[in-house]
């Protein structure tokens, strides 16, 4: 039996953890290595590190940071942001990542996900999809949410599964940072469309929101604001979910 996962997410820019609302108005949330070690000690099931600045000239700095985070934790570690090729992914894995997350590059280069799956195995490939509701459409957004595509989110995640993604990291831009709960209809549609795990992201503001996401079919819940700022801790989250019968780690 697989445990449902609670996954703190570190959005990193300029060497600091940051967190915004709808991908904007970023505020500082501390040092990545310190935060990672804290979440590991509190029993996080995994950790996700997204380089949200992802500027090519800072790759080396980012990889050094990735290596320092990897050295301070003993849980699976996903790294994303600016991974555009097999070589980029290889560098992240060598720096200590267990999985890589691709988003914009997977849209621009449709052969990227299959190449990553061939090179490193599907278990290494996390396909991140940022979704925004635009006129009744579930639009896939790229370039840090700044650019709209014509892709439909549910069709796109089906394609990503077929191409060799091991899991889908599904972020609702409408909900991101609002603390009003995950986009549950989106999550239900996505979970029904693929057999690989779907990780819910965007909107968690309290512990019942985590339970709602599991109920809607999520295998894991990504959360930043709730753990960075709002005083909920991972042990509290696990206790809350366990009491309600969800299979989480003790």
Partner 1 sequence: MIAVVDYGVNNLKSVVRALAAGGHTATLTTDPDEVRGADRVLLPGVGNFGQASRTLEQTGLGGAVREVAAAGRPVMGICLGLQLFFEGSEEAPGARGLGLLAGRVRRFATSLPVPHVGWARVDLTGPGRRHAMLASLFSQGAEFFYHVHSYHPTAVAENAVLGIGEYGESFPTLVGEGVVVGAQFHPEKSQRAGMALLDAFARWRP
- Nearer to partner 1 by Cβ, of 119 and 178: the residue is 119
Catalytic annotation present for 11: yes
- Taking CB under 8 A as the binding criterion, the range among 21-29, 39-47, 152-160, 182-190 that sits at the site for partner 1 is 39-47
When binding is defined by CB under 8 A, the residue of 48, 52, 65, 70 that contacts partner 1 is 70
Catalytic annotation present for 28: no
- Are 4 and 241 in contact by the 8 Å Cβ rule? The answer is yes
Give the separation between CA 167 and CA 85, rounded to whole angstroms: 18
CA distances from 217 to 125, 169, 195, 197, 229 (A): 20, 13, 11, 9, 26
Token digits of residue 22: 């709808």
Q: Kindly state the DSSP code that residue 4 receives in the 8-state scheme.
A: P
Name the catalytic one among 45, 130, 176, 183: 130
Give the separation between CA 146 and CA 150, rounded to whole angstroms: 14
Number of residues in contact with partner 1, rule: CB under 8 A? 27
When binding is defined by CB under 8 A, the residue of 81, 82, 164, 197 that contacts partner 1 is 197
Nearest distance, CB of residue 247 and partner 1, angstroms: 8
Would you count residue 195 as binding partner 1 (CB under 8 A)? yes
Would you count residue 114 as binding partner 1 (CB under 8 A)? no
Would you count residue 11 as binding partner 1 (CB under 8 A)? no
Nearest to 21 by CA among 145, 170, 197: 145
Give the separation between CA 77 and CA 99, rounded to whole angstroms: 6
Query: Looking at the annotation, which residues are catalytic?
Result: 11, 130
Summarize as ranges the residues that interact with partner 1 (CB under 8 A): 1-3, 5, 40, 43, 45, 70-71, 74-76, 93, 96, 98, 121-123, 166-167, 195-197, 219, 247, 249-250
């Amino acid at each position: 039996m697989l445990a449902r996962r609670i996954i703190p997410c570190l959005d990193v820019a300029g060497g600091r953890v940051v967190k915004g609302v709808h991908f904007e108005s970023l505020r500082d949330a501390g040092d990545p290595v310190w935060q990672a070690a804290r979440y590991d000690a509190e029993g996080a099931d995994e950790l996700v590190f997204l380089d949200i600045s992802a500027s090519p000239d800072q790759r080396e700095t980012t990889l050094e940071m990735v290596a320092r985070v990897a050295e301070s934790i003993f849980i699976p570690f996903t790294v994303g942001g600016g991974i555009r090729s097999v070589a980029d992914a290889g560098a992240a894995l060598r720096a200590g990542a267990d999985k890589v997350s691709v988003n914009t590059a997977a849209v621009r280069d449709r052969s990227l996900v299959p190449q990553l799956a061939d090179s490193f195995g599907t278990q290494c490939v996390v396909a991140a999809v940022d979704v925004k509701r635009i006129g009744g459409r579930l639009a896939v957004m790229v370039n840090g949410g700044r650019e709209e595509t014509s892709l439909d989110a549910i069709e796109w995640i089906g394609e990503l599964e077929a191409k060799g993604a091991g899991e889908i990291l599904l972020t609702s831009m409408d909900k991101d940072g609002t603390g009003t709960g995950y986009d549950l209809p989106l999550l239900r549609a996505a979970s029904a469309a693929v057999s690989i795990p779907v990780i819910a992201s965007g909107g968690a503001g309290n512990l019942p929101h985590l339970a709602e996401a599991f109920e809607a079919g999520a295998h894991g819940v990504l959360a930043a604001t709730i753990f960075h700022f709002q005083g909920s801790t991972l042990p509290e989250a696990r206790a809350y979910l366990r009491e309600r019968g969800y299979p989480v780690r003790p």
